[in-house]
Amino acid sequence: MDQENGRQAIMSGETALGIELGSTRIKAVLIDRAHRVLASGSFGWENRLEDGIWTYHESEILPGVQACYADLARDVKARYGVPLETAGALGVSGMMHGYLPFDRDGRQLAPFRTWRNTITGEAAGKMTALLDFNIPQRWSTAHLFQAVLNGEEHVGRIAYLTTLAGFLHWRLTGKKVMGVGEAAGMFPIDSRTHDFDREKLAKMQSVLDEYHFDWTLRGILPTVLTAGEDAGTLTREGALLLDPTGTLRPGIPMCPPEGDAGTGMTATNAVAERTGNVSAGTSIFGMIVLERPLSRVYPEIDLVTTPSGHAVAMAHCNNCTSDLDGWVGLFSECLGAFGCAPDKGKLYETLFRASLDGEKDAGGLMACNYLSGEHVTHFTEGRPLFARTPNAEMTLANFMRAQLYAALATLKTGLDLLIRQEGVRVDHMLGHGGFFKTPGVGQRYLAAAIGAPVSVMETAGEGGPYGMALLAAYRLWRAEGEKLETYLDKRVFAGAKCTTVEPDAADIAGFEAFMERYTRALAVERAAVENI
């Protein structure tokens, strides 16, 4: 865009800022009133497995956010020659759900337990049976109830339970609130009231009463807000937390914090009924906004909401690109041994494109990318595997196609339940996240996996933080009574550039052949978990 217009927007605060704490990167995106990206910043981090728990240390969270914001401020200064002193609105999001408990003094009581953990099977199963509603293992109250069942000492001292997005918003504003889409991953939401389901809360409380805690479940959960509502303002302490230099001024209006599922829906204009999106990065999930309730409870399918509170069916998988990233790192190291130093982005693009020359079923090669457990296929742990038959065609093209198919395989298992068994209709599916950065590759394989057209917008690489910036913009610039889906459709994406790939019959047949082998190979994966 015109540099002077961008400079004036930044100086006048005619901007919206979104910050998202993703699985491998914390990223910030600043947009103008036309919803164009002005500047961005990022900071790389990684979760770790400690004592059987996938976590990020508390000491990493706030410094990581500060480093990301500093990178954004540097980008603003370099592009426009002015400091970043304010924004029209601000929103924060994070990887979905998980477990972050605090006491009355705001002290964290247990290590952050992320979405990747599959350690709450007992609690999730009991809650699902009690509530007649699927409670996934990563949901906050599943972690809470598992801690209760485990007899963990800290549980009796809990005063507030939140998620990563809620934690950062609390530190920036002092408000214990949550966007409805993220709240739907803490405890079931009543789609009529856009709040936690009172009947289900009462059922769960009757069980918790047996333990005689000083708190109630509703009392330790955040206040639920829908998109566009007032979620407080950036305090002086919050401004210094984001920007220790003191350049950023307090008083910025804040929108409700959301999870990366909600920001993914927003970033792809998939918040209206019969729209869907697939977010593919470290984890992968597909979401379809429902026209009607599902016929029964599916343990493999989560029921959540859009940031406005519409019911959404989600197939969530813990594993997508982590094992693939490991293989790309190995190829990079190999090239380095020959004195080559390929650009990381170019290496990914080259390898992704090489897969297009592979056989439609990946030539008999088999990959299972389970770095961690998968509830859809009932694994509590994972062991990444690669296998082949003696007569398989071991080529780079087939190898890469097998890896890319594997990244989508578990998601396909979940989405098949919705599309084939429940007859859920979706008019268009949009892809976003790193898996779709190489044009025409990831979306081609997703189209084959679901048998439907897949579109990718030019903003797909921005992903969640761009979606969070849009939710901040909606908080700031929406008209009276204007729904989020209308705002996005008419104001943001009306002229958006996107590419659409139709499913290819040969690709569909090839993917189905791969899935037959993949399903049988899960017995090998289970043996690997038991013996390696």
What pLDDT shows up at residue 498?
85
The pLDDT tens digits of the residues spanning 90-99 come to: 999 998 889 9
CA distance 139 to 123: 10
- pTM here is 0.82
Q: For 318-448, where are the E strands, in sequence order?
A: 365-368, 372-374, 379-381, 385-388, 428-432
Packing angle, helices 58-80 and 3-12, rounded to 10: 130
What pLDDT shows up at residue 1?
52
Number of Cβ atoms within 10 Å of the Cβ of 495:
5
DSSP assignment of 158-208: --EEE-HHHHHHHHHHS--EEEHHHHTTTS-EETTTTEE-HHHHHHHHHHH
What pLDDT shows up at residue 261?
87
What pLDDT shows up at residue 459?
58
| Bridge partner list, 302 | 314
CA distance 206 to 19: 38
| Domain limits, the chain | 262-320+414-501
Q: 262-320+414-501 in CATH: which number?
A: 3.30.420.40
| Secondary structure (3-state) at 123 | helix
Q: What is the dihedral of CA 227, 230, 236, 242, to 10 degrees?
A: 0
Per the listing, tokens 């910030």 go with: 28
What pLDDT shows up at residue 525?
97
The pLDDT tens digits of the residues spanning 253-288 come to: 999 999 988 998 998 888 988 889 998 888 898 999
Query: What counts of helices (H) and strands (E) characterise the chain?
Result: 17, 24
Parts of the chain with a pLDDT under 70: 1, 459-462
CA distance 519 to 526: 11
What pLDDT shows up at residue 46?
81
CA distance 33 to 1: 12
Asked if 127 and 121 count as a contact pair (C-beta separation under 8 A), the reply is no
| Secondary structure (3-state) at 397 | helix
**β-strand pairing of 258-259 with 89-94:** parallel
Going by C-alpha positions, the residue among 303, 267, 280 that lies closest to residue 458 is 267
End-to-end CA distance of the chain: 54
